[in-house]
Structure formats: C-alpha cells, structure tokens
Structure 1
Amino acid sequence: MYIEEIKQAAAYLNDRLQHQPTTGLILGSGLGVLADEITDPVVIPYGDIPHFPQSTVAGHKGQLVAGTLEGRHVIAMQGRFHYYEGYSMKQVTFPVRVMKELGVETLIVTNAAGGINVTFEAGNLMVITDHINQMGDNPLLGANEEALGERFPDMSQAYDRELIEHANRCAEHLSLTVQNGVYVGNTGPAYETAAEIRMLRTLGGDAVGMSTVPEVVAANHAHMRVLGISCISNMAAGILDQPLTHDEVIETTAQVREDFLGFVKHIVNTLPEKY
C-alpha cells in the first residue's frame, strides 16, 4: 500500500512537471526563500498531491516548487513535515520516497538548529557531517519494503563525504565562514533543557533540531546522496541564559538569508556531473 501511494503521488507530479528533477531540496524553518529563486517554477500545494501530509508550522509554506536552479532541474519542499506534528515517521519521509520515484538522486536537506557547540554563534551555517538520532523512532521500523531499499542500510556515511568537501570548497570560494558538525535530532516540540544540552554536548552533538534525521535515514535507505546544512538560529538552552522562541528562529534565518542563498546556489551550480 505504501509503495502504491508513493507511485500515485509521483505519477500525479510527473503529469505536471516540465522536467525530471535530479536534485531534491528540503527547506527548513525560515529557509523556504530558496524556492523563490527557482526559475520557470511549477508550484504544487501539498494538499493537491495524493497522500501528502500538510505543513502546520509557521515558516513552512506547504508546497512543492519544481523548475531550474542554477542550471539544474530541481524539486524543492517549501516546508517539511515533523514527527511532533503527529505524523508517523513514514508520513514524515513520504516526500523523500516520492522524490526518489521521480528520479532524484541527490538530496540537499536544510534546517534551523540550536547551537550546542559553544564556539558557534547564532547566524552561523553548519555543514552536517553526521547525526545522532535521539527521536526514539525510525522510519524503517516494521516490515521492510525491498523495492525501497535493503533491510539493514549502511549509515556510516549518511552524509556524502564528497558533497561535504564540495560544500566546504564552495564556502571557501565565497569567503564564507561555515562550521562543520554533528546534528542531533530530537522529537520536540519543546526546546531542550539546559541539562539536556549538556548531555548532548557530551554525546558529541554540535547542533540540535527537530527534523532532518528521519529524512536522511530514508534517503540513505533509497541510496540517495545527501548533503545537510543547518542554520544556527540560536544558541541552545543554558548557553546564553535567555528564553528560546520560534520567532527568534525565523528572525535569525531572515538575517542570514543572503549567505544561505548564495551558499546553496553555488553548491548546486558547481555540483560534479555525477551528482
């Protein structure tokens, strides 16, 4: 049934897309502005797509935008789905499965995250080198669909090393200082306590958020290459002794808009041919 739903959603989109996308983009809180840079866009609200969930969070428009970005055929999620919204892990990762069915082989996942590493600052961009799943769930639980991927996928290079190197070269070319680090995925929707942040730092986390991990697990299961980028929208609890709000997340992502846009567009523009 799940595979049939994926195929039905992909068929609906194929009938409306002008080109087959090769690169997928998942745009996190406040970062959907990148989709506005896509030329000759085909905009499809999630509500029109068979079996698609709906975005319920501020800063997530809730639509797919397909077209051309820096000479590449892309499809972008302008808003994602979160586990804390009450969706199952399979629903959260449904768009990744549909992208794969459409022919997408490279996935760029973005998010807004809280800084755990005390050398980070709000407004930094971080290339994700690895992640820690603290969500207590996994999109691959249950019967495995062999048509989607093998039972036990390798996650030792969940974030493609060549894409990480490529992103860092792009940052250097743009004279843009970016961090590299480990992303921790929590369920949310409450922000972490100061004690929890100290624990996550001990575990090796550099940034924390409420998304990304399920999508990256599903993408690896589907043998997609993944690049992850976090916008450090605030320093996590206990570091600056100030309350955390979603408004601050949106405000910070707006402030770094030009750096974020320039960075991702240059990454896409200079992707090696095999990607």
Structure 2
Amino acid sequence: MINLNSKYRQILERIKDDIPFEPEICIVLGSGLGDFANKIETIKSISTSNLPEYPVSTIPGHKGYLHFSKYADKKLFVVQGRIHFYEGYKISECVLPIHLAAKLNCKKIILTNAAGGVNPNLIPGDLMLIRSFISFNIKKELTELVGLASIDIKNSMLDFPSEELNEIIIQAALQEKILLREGNYWYTKGPNYETPSEIKMIQKFGGDAVGMSTVHEAFYANIMKMKVAAISCITNYAAGLSSIKLSHDEVIETAEKAKSKFERLIKKSIELM
C-alpha cells in the first residue's frame, strides 16, 4: 500500500500556500473538454509544471492546470489535465488530482471523459451519464491505493454513483433540454484502442461506452468519502462499428462540437447543487 499523504505532502503544502479558498466541488475535465475552464470565473490558476514531481500529461487537450474558480456562488476546483494509466504512470499518480481535491475538503466531484460508443444507440456528440463501471481489469492496481480490503472498501463502489448528484445532473439536462443518455462505462488500460473483436465482447457483456480513465478516480474519491458522478462525451464509434479509423484527433474534434451542451449541462448542474 502506498501512503499518498506522505507521497504528496510537498505538493499539497505548496497548493495550500496559494489557494484563495477551500473548494466545494471538483470537476475533472476529459479529453477535448478542457475549454470549460475558460467559461467560468477563474480566481487562481496553478500550472502543474510548477508543482514538485507532479506528473506531466502527454495527451493533447490536457493542458496541465489546476484552477480555483467560481460559478453560481459555488467554489470550484477544476482539473484541466488528467493523468492516465496508459501514459506509463502508476495508479497512485493517476489519482493525484483526486487526492488533492479530497485534502482540500471537496465534498462532491464530477468526473468527465471522452469515450467510444459501443451501444449502437449512442452516436458521437452524445452525453452519457455513467450508471456503473465494468472495471475488473484494474482491480489489482487499486489494491496499491488501499492495501488489504476492509468491509468499507469492499462496499465502496456500491455508493457510485451518488444518486443525489445523478438526480441533479438529470434535472439539469431536462431544464437545458439536453438529451442525456445513461449507460455502463467499460474501462480498459490501453495504451491502444480496443480491437473490433474486443468491442464485440464488450457489447455482449453490457458495456455501452469504453475508455481509459475515470474508474480509479471514482474509486478513490469514494474511499475519500466524496459524492461522485461521472459523464462521458461520446466522441467516436468504437472499433469495428464505423469505417472511420480511430484517432485522438477525432476525439478532440467531436468533443469540440459537443462542448456547448457539455458546458450548459455542467453549469446548470453546479447551479442546482
């Protein structure tokens, strides 16, 4: 088990010296969704490159900033730059932003991501509220965060998603007249996109969307007693479901087209919290 309090004490102390307030809500921005950080009032921005030993995000669309922002009288901690397992980082490094949010006393967190659509009813540009995860292939790594499982840890993901937060997001979608899908997110470690045969398997076992983030963040946030919700932006058809070859450029391009309704959904959700 890795002691994250000890591992990240220096980073946390550095941030606490600079923060303008203790945030109430954390929002982690997925691939192509980072522009949301520019649509709200920013009080203080911290470049992660200025934080000691903070992992560098190597993926386009993840700028590497921690923003202390405000919207609708809510104090926000906005993570603009995710740390991915497939970049070669350890699981303890991937959950660093979540650890910081928890230690800054955030009580609620909305995780967002770009995902491939597996369910044929999902099309690029759709927003999907995540109802559950299929994540058996990362269970071993999660033990690095918590050690031997207690009863609380075994039951932790029974609290995902937060029904309170999900109901708020659903109400936000209704008020903004945004079509909000719901489904199961299948986690893969990467580093490559899934093969057409793997997508067929995922379909058969109940996956609606597939991606390479979010699950470990939700798990750790639950362990840290935060209320958690997660939203996928469907940015492409999964492998074998379209004649178009998968690329990160396609992910960014589709997220760009969906960013207006994504922004409206998140803003209204914040207002209703």
**Of the candidates 238, 241, 259, which is equivalent to residue 239 of structure 1?**
241
Give the SS at the match of 1:152. helix
**Distance of 2:128 and 2:106 partners within structure 1:** 24
Conserved 8 A contact 1:134-1:187: no
Question: How far apart are 1:143 and its partner, in Å?
Answer: 7.3
Opposite residue 157 of structure 1, the aligned amino acid is D
Structure 1 residues 114 and 219, CA gap change in structure 2 (3 angstroms):
same
Which segment is superposed worse, 260-269 or 35-44?
35-44
Q: Tell me what 2:67 maps to.
A: 65
**Bigger fraction of residues in helix:** 2
User: 1:256 maps to which residue?
Assistant: 258
Aligned counterpart, 2:41: 39
CA 143–72 in structure 1, closer or farther in 2 if over 3 Å, else same: closer
Following TM superposition, the consecutive aligned residue runs of length 4 or more in structure 1 with deviations greater than 3 angstroms are 134-140, 142-146, 149-153
Which deviates more, 40-49 or 92-101? 40-49
1:12-91 pair list within 5 angstroms: 12-91=14-93
Q: CA deviation at 1:151?
A: 4.7
In 2: Cα distance, 1:267 partner to 1:2 partner: 30
Q: Deviations over 1:230-252 (max 9, x none)?
A: 00001111112321111000000
1:106 aligns with 108
For residues 106 and 257 of structure 1, what CA distance do their matches in structure 2 show?
Answer: 22
Deviation digits for residues 134-192 of structure 1, max 9, x if unmatched? Answer: 5434553147479xx95534212311112112111111111111100111111112111
For 2:70 and 2:103, the matched residues in 1 are separated by 19
Q: Using the alignment, how far apart are the partners of 1:248 and 1:89 within structure 2? A: 27
Higher mean C-alpha deviation, range 227-236 or range 1-10: 1-10
Q: 5 Å matches for 1:57-206?
A: 57-142=59-144, 144=146, 151-206=153-208
- The residue identity in structure 1 corresponding to 2:173 is A
Give the TM-score, by structure 1 length: 0.92
| 8 Å Cα contact 1:7/1:98 also seen in 2 | no
CA distance in 2 between counterparts of 1:48 and 1:153 reads 37
Residue type of the partner of 2:179? T
C-alpha spacing 1:138/1:226, structure 2 compared with 1 (3 Å): farther
Corresponding residue of 2:217:
215
List runs of 5+ in structure 1 lacking aligned partners: none
Aligned Cα root-mean-square deviation (Å): 1.8
With over 3 angstroms needed to count, the CA separation of the structure-2 counterparts of 1:206 and 1:268, relative to structure 1, is same
Cα distance, 1:16 vs structure 2: 0.8
Deviation at 1:6, TM superposition (A): 3.1
SS state at 1:265 partner: helix
Q: Which residue of 1 aligns with 2:232?
A: 230
Percent of aligned pairs with the same residue?
Answer: 35
Residue ranges of structure 2 left out of the alignment (5+ in a row): none
Matched residue type, 2:60: A
**C-alpha distance 26-124 of structure 1, shift in aligned 2 (>3 A):** same
Contact 2:42 2:67 in 1 (8 A): no
Q: Quick check: 2:92–2:144 contact (8 Å CA) kept in 1?
A: no
Cα distance in 2, alignment partners of residues 17 and 81 from structure 1: 21
- Going from structure 1 to structure 2, the CA distance change for 1:136 and 1:145 (only over 3 Å counts) comes to closer
- Equivalent pairs counted in the alignment come to 269
Cα distance in 1 for residues equivalent to 2:222 and 2:155: 7
TM-score by length of 2: 0.93
Report the residue type matching 1:119 in the other structure.
N
Letter in 1 for 2:157: M
Contact 2:55 2:83 in 1 (8 A): yes
Q: 2:125, 2:257 within 8 Å by CA — same for their partners in 1?
A: yes
CA distance in 1, matches of 2:217, 2:159: 15
3-state SS of 2:197 partner = helix
* Contact 1:233/1:253 (<8 A) preserved: yes
